[in-house]
Amino acid sequence: MYYVYRLQSIKYSEQKYTGFTSDVFRRLEAHNNGQVTHTSKYQPWKLRNFFAFTDENKAREFELYLKSGSGRAFAQKHF
C-alpha cells in the first residue's frame, strides 16, 4: 500500500505538512525524530489523516494535488 498523509505541528498549529510514504507510522516517527530537514524545526508532529492507495502513481498524484493551491483549499475545507 501507498499512503498520502497530512501532519500538523503540535507547537505551531498553523504549520501543516503533506507527504507520501509506504509506512505512515515509521514516517511520522522520522518527522518527530528530526530526520526530515523540512519539518524538523516544527516538531513534534501529529498525524491529522492519511489516505491509502494500491496504486503508487495515484497516491503521488493525490499528494501533488493536496500540495497545490486548490488542493490545500480542498483539504482546509474537508479535513
Angstrom distance (rounded) from CA 50 to CA 70:
18
Q: What is the pLDDT along the chain (79 residues), one digit of tens a residue?
A: 999 999 999 999 999 999 999 999 999 999 999 999 999 999 999 999 999 999 999 999 999 999 999 999 999 888 8
The domain defined by 2-69 carries CATH number 3.40.1440.10: yes
pLDDT (0 to 100) of residue 79: 85
Beta-sheet strand order (sheet of 45-53): 16-21, 2-9, 45-53
Other beta carbons within 10 Å of 45: 24
pLDDT (0 to 100) of residue 28: 97
pTM (2 decimals)?
Answer: 0.91
